[in-house]
Amino acid sequence: MTKIAFINSRYKNFNDATIHIEDRGFQFADSVYEVISFFNKNLIDLKLHFLRLRYSLNELDIQYNFTDEKLTKIFWKLIRFNSLKSGIIYLQITRGVQPRSHAYKHKIKPTVVIYTQKKTFNIPGNKFTGVNVITHEDLRWSRKDIKTVNLLPNILIENLAHKKNAYTAILIKNNKITEGNHSNIWIVKNNNIFTHPINIDILKGVTRTTLISIIKKCGFKLIEKNFTKKQLYNSDEIFLTSSTGLITPILKVDSKLINKGKIGNITIQLAILYFKLILK
């Protein structure tokens, strides 16, 4: 079966969906992206993805106007064309093509690339699994709040994590946990739930945003506050959230077992509540 992608207003064979060699996304990472998960024909947290996409475009001054309805229609067409029931939609918007120069011209036409991938998700139930992670210095640029494709530090760190048979890495700046290498990080201590506050040191995760509303509705105590590596090690439970990982329990950090290597009760509760909400 031929895989179909969308590029610059056209649906094309995936292998033929190419960009110009002077595209600024290719040469400078002058580009933003979003990854939207879908499960059983539900587009997960879609409105939040569109809000964050507009924020990233605005922060980089990339002039691309879109409507939620237009992009949603493209997403559904790609899902149908590729006969998928669950997976991810990858959307990337670059500033566009111009002769190579660090300074960008105004009013150039952005490049738009959208395609799908099949994916199996870690769903709460009998097969709900936790992961091991490592910690690593946060090497990324200072504007982590913008979802750009400037991901080389993430790539190097993730490769190191995989060499150590870990799922991913938790990043540390000035002895404080910022976030995961491609996720937000949460700890539970004495039934209180902690996560890093929103600022330019982390990406405002869409799963994070949805989960916060669930936590507040259910009466858990949420504390948006920096915490240290020592507090991470000494927590009762740890989990990460992301658009592709949803809610993923963390059972071991470096050599430190968390909750004796078992998924915590609050983590399980939140994962169940989140999954029920996204399938409404």
Q: Which residues does the annotation mark as catalytic?
A: 147
Q: What angle do CA 196, 244, 51 make, to 5 degrees?
A: 65
In whole angstroms, what separates CA 99 from the centre of its chain?
Answer: 32
Distance CA 95, CA 97 (A): 7
Partners of residue 253 on adjacent β-strands: 133, 256
Q: What angle do CA 59, 18, 69 make, to 5 degrees?
A: 50
Number of H helices, E strands in the chain: 7, 15
175 with 222: CB under 8 angstroms?
Answer: no
Q: What angle do CA 244, 147, 37 make, to 5 degrees?
A: 20
